[in-house]
Amino acid sequence: MDDKKVLTIQDISCVGQCSLTVALPIISACGIETCILPSAVLSTHTAGFKNFTCADLTSEIPKIARHWKDENITFDALYTGYLGSAEQIDYVEKLLRPLLKEDGLTIIDPAMADNGKLYPAFDDKFVGEMKRLIKIADITLPNITEACFLTGTPYREEYDEEYIKGLIDGLLVLGAKKVVITGVGYKKGRTGVAVYDGGKYSYYEHEKMEKGCHGTGDVYSSAFVGAFERGNGVYNSAVIAADFTLDCIKYTKNFPTHWYGVKFEPLLNKLGEKIK
Protein backbone atom coordinates (compact mmCIF):
# COMPACT_ATOMS: atom_id res chain seq x y z
CA MET A 1 0.00 0.00 0.00
CA ASP A 2 1.33 3.42 -0.95
CA ASP A 3 1.55 5.88 1.93
CA LYS A 4 -1.35 8.33 1.77
CA LYS A 5 -1.55 11.75 3.37
CA VAL A 6 -4.90 13.43 4.01
CA LEU A 7 -5.40 17.04 5.07
CA THR A 8 -8.59 17.81 6.94
CA ILE A 9 -9.69 21.34 7.81
CA GLN A 10 -12.44 21.91 10.38
CA ASP A 11 -12.81 23.17 13.92
CA ILE A 12 -11.52 21.34 16.99
CA SER A 13 -13.53 21.02 20.20
CA CYS A 14 -11.15 20.23 23.05
CA VAL A 15 -13.92 18.25 24.79
CA GLY A 16 -16.72 16.63 22.81
CA GLN A 17 -16.43 14.02 20.11
CA CYS A 18 -16.86 15.85 16.83
CA SER A 19 -14.91 17.55 14.05
CA LEU A 20 -11.13 17.13 14.37
CA THR A 21 -11.25 15.14 17.62
CA VAL A 22 -13.13 12.56 15.56
CA ALA A 23 -11.42 12.94 12.18
CA LEU A 24 -7.83 12.62 13.39
CA PRO A 25 -8.16 9.32 15.28
CA ILE A 26 -10.58 7.66 12.87
CA ILE A 27 -8.67 8.38 9.66
CA SER A 28 -5.39 7.54 11.39
CA ALA A 29 -6.85 4.22 12.54
CA CYS A 30 -7.50 3.44 8.88
CA GLY A 31 -3.75 3.57 8.27
CA ILE A 32 -3.74 7.02 6.69
CA GLU A 33 -1.41 9.83 7.74
CA THR A 34 -3.78 12.57 8.87
CA CYS A 35 -2.71 16.21 8.80
CA ILE A 36 -4.97 18.78 10.40
CA LEU A 37 -5.71 22.46 10.01
CA PRO A 38 -7.95 23.71 12.84
CA SER A 39 -10.27 26.46 11.63
CA ALA A 40 -11.18 27.32 15.24
CA VAL A 41 -10.52 26.00 18.75
CA LEU A 42 -13.48 25.56 21.10
CA SER A 43 -13.33 24.52 24.75
CA THR A 44 -16.26 22.17 24.05
CA HIS A 45 -18.68 21.69 21.21
CA THR A 46 -21.80 23.86 21.21
CA ALA A 47 -24.54 21.26 21.76
CA GLY A 48 -25.44 21.03 25.42
CA PHE A 49 -22.43 22.73 26.97
CA LYS A 50 -22.74 26.23 28.43
CA ASN A 51 -20.32 29.17 28.32
CA PHE A 52 -17.92 27.50 25.89
CA THR A 53 -14.98 29.47 24.53
CA CYS A 54 -14.05 29.84 20.88
CA ALA A 55 -10.88 31.14 19.21
CA ASP A 56 -11.23 31.81 15.48
CA LEU A 57 -8.10 30.74 13.57
CA THR A 58 -9.12 32.02 10.14
CA SER A 59 -6.20 34.45 9.99
CA GLU A 60 -3.73 31.58 10.50
CA ILE A 61 -4.88 29.62 7.45
CA PRO A 62 -2.98 31.62 4.78
CA LYS A 63 0.17 31.61 6.92
CA ILE A 64 0.05 27.85 7.30
CA ALA A 65 -0.68 27.34 3.61
CA ARG A 66 2.28 29.50 2.61
CA HIS A 67 4.59 27.56 4.93
CA TRP A 68 3.45 24.24 3.47
CA LYS A 69 3.98 25.56 -0.04
CA ASP A 70 7.50 26.70 0.88
CA GLU A 71 8.21 23.22 2.26
CA ASN A 72 6.77 21.52 -0.84
CA ILE A 73 4.23 19.67 1.30
CA THR A 74 1.41 18.11 -0.71
CA PHE A 75 -1.58 15.91 0.08
CA ASP A 76 -3.42 13.00 -1.52
CA ALA A 77 -6.80 14.29 -0.37
CA LEU A 78 -8.35 17.41 1.12
CA TYR A 79 -11.31 16.69 3.40
CA THR A 80 -13.39 19.58 4.70
CA GLY A 81 -15.85 19.44 7.58
CA TYR A 82 -17.42 22.33 9.49
CA LEU A 83 -16.21 25.65 8.10
CA GLY A 84 -17.31 28.73 9.99
CA SER A 85 -17.27 31.47 7.36
CA ALA A 86 -17.20 32.38 3.68
CA GLU A 87 -13.58 33.49 4.18
CA GLN A 88 -12.61 29.98 5.24
CA ILE A 89 -14.34 28.54 2.19
CA ASP A 90 -12.37 30.97 0.03
CA TYR A 91 -9.10 29.82 1.61
CA VAL A 92 -9.96 26.17 1.01
CA GLU A 93 -10.56 26.89 -2.66
CA LYS A 94 -7.66 29.23 -3.34
CA LEU A 95 -4.90 28.26 -0.88
CA LEU A 96 -5.39 24.68 0.25
CA ARG A 97 -6.73 22.92 -2.84
CA PRO A 98 -3.59 23.86 -4.84
CA LEU A 99 -1.59 21.85 -2.28
CA LEU A 100 -3.12 18.62 -3.58
CA LYS A 101 -1.00 16.23 -5.59
CA GLU A 102 -1.75 16.05 -9.31
CA ASP A 103 -4.19 13.17 -8.75
CA GLY A 104 -5.37 14.42 -5.35
CA LEU A 105 -9.06 14.48 -4.45
CA THR A 106 -11.32 17.01 -2.75
CA ILE A 107 -13.86 15.45 -0.35
CA ILE A 108 -16.45 17.94 0.91
CA ASP A 109 -18.78 17.42 3.86
CA PRO A 110 -20.96 20.57 3.69
CA ALA A 111 -21.60 20.52 7.43
CA MET A 112 -24.12 23.34 7.84
CA ALA A 113 -27.64 21.95 8.44
CA ASP A 114 -29.80 19.10 9.73
CA ASN A 115 -33.44 18.25 10.37
CA GLY A 116 -34.64 20.76 7.80
CA LYS A 117 -32.80 23.76 9.27
CA LEU A 118 -29.48 25.53 8.89
CA TYR A 119 -27.22 25.62 11.93
CA PRO A 120 -27.69 28.90 13.85
CA ALA A 121 -24.40 30.39 12.60
CA PHE A 122 -25.37 30.14 8.92
CA ASP A 123 -27.74 31.81 6.46
CA ASP A 124 -28.68 31.58 2.78
CA LYS A 125 -25.62 33.62 1.83
CA PHE A 126 -23.39 30.98 3.40
CA VAL A 127 -25.22 28.27 1.43
CA GLY A 128 -24.30 30.16 -1.73
CA GLU A 129 -20.66 30.18 -0.67
CA MET A 130 -20.73 26.44 0.09
CA LYS A 131 -21.89 25.80 -3.48
CA ARG A 132 -18.44 26.93 -4.58
CA LEU A 133 -16.92 23.97 -2.78
CA ILE A 134 -19.48 21.57 -4.22
CA LYS A 135 -18.37 22.78 -7.64
CA ILE A 136 -14.83 21.54 -7.00
CA ALA A 137 -15.82 18.42 -5.02
CA ASP A 138 -14.65 15.09 -6.33
CA ILE A 139 -16.88 13.57 -3.63
CA THR A 140 -19.50 15.32 -1.52
CA LEU A 141 -21.12 13.89 1.62
CA PRO A 142 -24.24 15.90 2.55
CA ASN A 143 -27.19 14.81 4.63
CA ILE A 144 -30.66 15.30 3.14
CA THR A 145 -31.13 18.76 4.66
CA GLU A 146 -27.81 20.00 3.31
CA ALA A 147 -28.58 18.56 -0.12
CA CYS A 148 -31.92 20.39 -0.08
CA PHE A 149 -30.36 23.76 0.75
CA LEU A 150 -27.62 23.33 -1.83
CA THR A 151 -30.03 22.39 -4.63
CA GLY A 152 -32.90 24.70 -3.67
CA THR A 153 -35.20 21.74 -3.07
CA PRO A 154 -38.02 21.96 -0.47
CA TYR A 155 -37.21 19.76 2.51
CA ARG A 156 -39.55 16.82 3.10
CA GLU A 157 -39.83 14.41 6.00
CA GLU A 158 -41.33 11.76 3.74
CA TYR A 159 -39.95 11.11 0.27
CA ASP A 160 -39.32 8.44 -2.32
CA GLU A 161 -36.38 7.30 -4.42
CA GLU A 162 -37.09 9.83 -7.16
CA TYR A 163 -36.86 12.68 -4.64
CA ILE A 164 -33.42 11.51 -3.52
CA LYS A 165 -32.26 11.01 -7.11
CA GLY A 166 -33.41 14.57 -7.77
CA LEU A 167 -31.18 15.82 -4.95
CA ILE A 168 -28.24 13.87 -6.33
CA ASP A 169 -28.85 15.22 -9.84
CA GLY A 170 -28.98 18.75 -8.44
CA LEU A 171 -25.60 18.27 -6.75
CA LEU A 172 -24.14 16.94 -10.00
CA VAL A 173 -25.39 20.06 -11.78
CA LEU A 174 -23.52 22.14 -9.20
CA GLY A 175 -20.33 20.31 -10.15
CA ALA A 176 -19.97 17.39 -7.72
CA LYS A 177 -18.59 14.29 -9.42
CA LYS A 178 -19.55 11.62 -6.87
CA VAL A 179 -22.26 11.94 -4.22
CA VAL A 180 -23.11 10.18 -0.96
CA ILE A 181 -26.28 11.40 0.79
CA THR A 182 -26.62 10.21 4.39
CA GLY A 183 -29.72 9.65 6.50
CA VAL A 184 -31.86 8.33 3.64
CA GLY A 185 -34.69 6.11 4.85
CA TYR A 186 -37.66 4.90 2.82
CA LYS A 187 -39.16 2.67 5.53
CA LYS A 188 -40.02 3.19 9.19
CA GLY A 189 -37.16 2.11 11.42
CA ARG A 190 -34.70 2.02 8.55
CA THR A 191 -32.16 4.47 7.20
CA GLY A 192 -29.15 4.36 4.91
CA VAL A 193 -27.04 6.08 2.31
CA ALA A 194 -27.75 6.94 -1.32
CA VAL A 195 -24.70 6.83 -3.57
CA TYR A 196 -23.95 8.09 -7.07
CA ASP A 197 -20.71 6.98 -8.67
CA GLY A 198 -19.76 6.51 -12.30
CA GLY A 199 -23.24 6.99 -13.68
CA LYS A 200 -24.82 4.51 -11.25
CA TYR A 201 -27.26 5.14 -8.40
CA SER A 202 -27.00 2.77 -5.41
CA TYR A 203 -28.60 2.51 -1.99
CA TYR A 204 -27.53 0.81 1.22
CA GLU A 205 -30.12 0.32 3.96
CA HIS A 206 -29.56 -0.45 7.62
CA GLU A 207 -31.22 -0.22 11.01
CA LYS A 208 -32.16 3.22 12.33
CA MET A 209 -31.67 3.95 16.02
CA GLU A 210 -34.53 5.84 17.64
CA LYS A 211 -32.20 8.34 19.22
CA GLY A 212 -29.02 9.55 17.56
CA CYS A 213 -25.85 11.00 19.06
CA HIS A 214 -23.97 14.24 18.58
CA GLY A 215 -21.11 14.04 16.09
CA THR A 216 -22.27 11.01 14.13
CA GLY A 217 -22.01 12.94 10.86
CA ASP A 218 -18.33 13.58 11.57
CA VAL A 219 -17.80 9.93 12.51
CA TYR A 220 -19.42 8.86 9.24
CA SER A 221 -17.49 11.25 7.00
CA SER A 222 -14.17 10.45 8.66
CA ALA A 223 -14.70 6.70 8.36
CA PHE A 224 -15.67 7.19 4.72
CA VAL A 225 -12.50 9.17 3.99
CA GLY A 226 -10.32 6.58 5.71
CA ALA A 227 -11.96 3.67 3.91
CA PHE A 228 -11.89 5.41 0.54
CA GLU A 229 -8.23 6.36 0.81
CA ARG A 230 -7.49 2.69 1.51
CA GLY A 231 -8.90 1.86 -1.91
CA ASN A 232 -12.39 0.63 -1.03
CA GLY A 233 -14.31 2.61 -3.66
CA VAL A 234 -17.18 5.03 -3.09
CA TYR A 235 -20.02 2.57 -2.49
CA ASN A 236 -18.01 0.18 -0.31
CA SER A 237 -16.62 3.08 1.70
CA ALA A 238 -20.16 4.42 2.18
CA VAL A 239 -21.25 1.01 3.51
CA ILE A 240 -18.23 0.63 5.80
CA ALA A 241 -18.80 4.11 7.24
CA ALA A 242 -22.52 3.47 7.75
CA ASP A 243 -21.94 0.17 9.57
CA PHE A 244 -19.21 1.68 11.74
CA THR A 245 -21.35 4.68 12.70
CA LEU A 246 -24.26 2.41 13.61
CA ASP A 247 -21.97 0.21 15.71
CA CYS A 248 -20.71 3.31 17.54
CA ILE A 249 -24.25 4.51 18.32
CA LYS A 250 -25.25 1.08 19.60
CA TYR A 251 -22.16 0.85 21.79
CA THR A 252 -22.72 4.32 23.23
CA LYS A 253 -26.25 3.38 24.32
CA ASN A 254 -24.61 1.26 27.04
CA PHE A 255 -23.32 4.46 28.67
CA PRO A 256 -26.34 6.67 29.51
CA THR A 257 -24.20 9.48 30.95
CA HIS A 258 -22.18 9.79 27.75
CA TRP A 259 -24.48 12.35 26.14
CA TYR A 260 -22.00 14.57 24.27
CA GLY A 261 -20.87 12.22 21.50
CA VAL A 262 -20.33 8.61 20.48
CA LYS A 263 -17.79 6.31 22.13
CA PHE A 264 -16.06 5.36 18.91
CA GLU A 265 -12.60 4.74 20.35
CA PRO A 266 -13.14 1.13 21.54
CA LEU A 267 -14.39 0.21 18.06
CA LEU A 268 -11.48 1.55 16.01
CA ASN A 269 -9.96 -1.92 15.70
CA LYS A 270 -13.25 -3.13 14.28
CA LEU A 271 -13.15 -0.35 11.69
CA GLY A 272 -9.65 -1.44 10.68
CA GLU A 273 -10.90 -4.97 10.16
CA LYS A 274 -13.78 -3.77 7.97
CA ILE A 275 -11.37 -1.83 5.78
CA LYS A 276 -9.05 -4.80 5.31
DSSP conformation letters of 179-227: EEEES--SSTTEEEEEEEETTEEEEEEEE--SS--TTHHHHHHHHHHHH
* Cα–Cα nearest to 81, from 52, 39, 122, 118: 39
Asked, for residue 276, whether it belongs to a domain, the answer is: no
Asked, for residue 121, whether it belongs to a domain, the answer is: yes
Q: Say which residues have a Cβ less than 8 Å from residue 142's Cβ, sequence separation at least 6.
A: 109, 110, 150, 171, 179, 181, 182
Q: Which amino acid is at 241?
A: A
| Residue ranges making up the domain that contains 145 | 5-268
What is the pLDDT confidence band of residue 135, given thresholds at 50, 70 and 90? Answer: very high
Domain count within the chain: 1
Asked, for residue 99, whether it belongs to a domain, the answer is: yes
Q: Provide mean pLDDT across the span 203-222.
A: 90
- pLDDT single digits (tens) 233-254: 999 999 999 999 999 999 999 9
CATH number for the domain spanning 252: value is 3.40.1190.20
Other beta carbons within 10 angstroms of residue 119's beta carbon come to 14
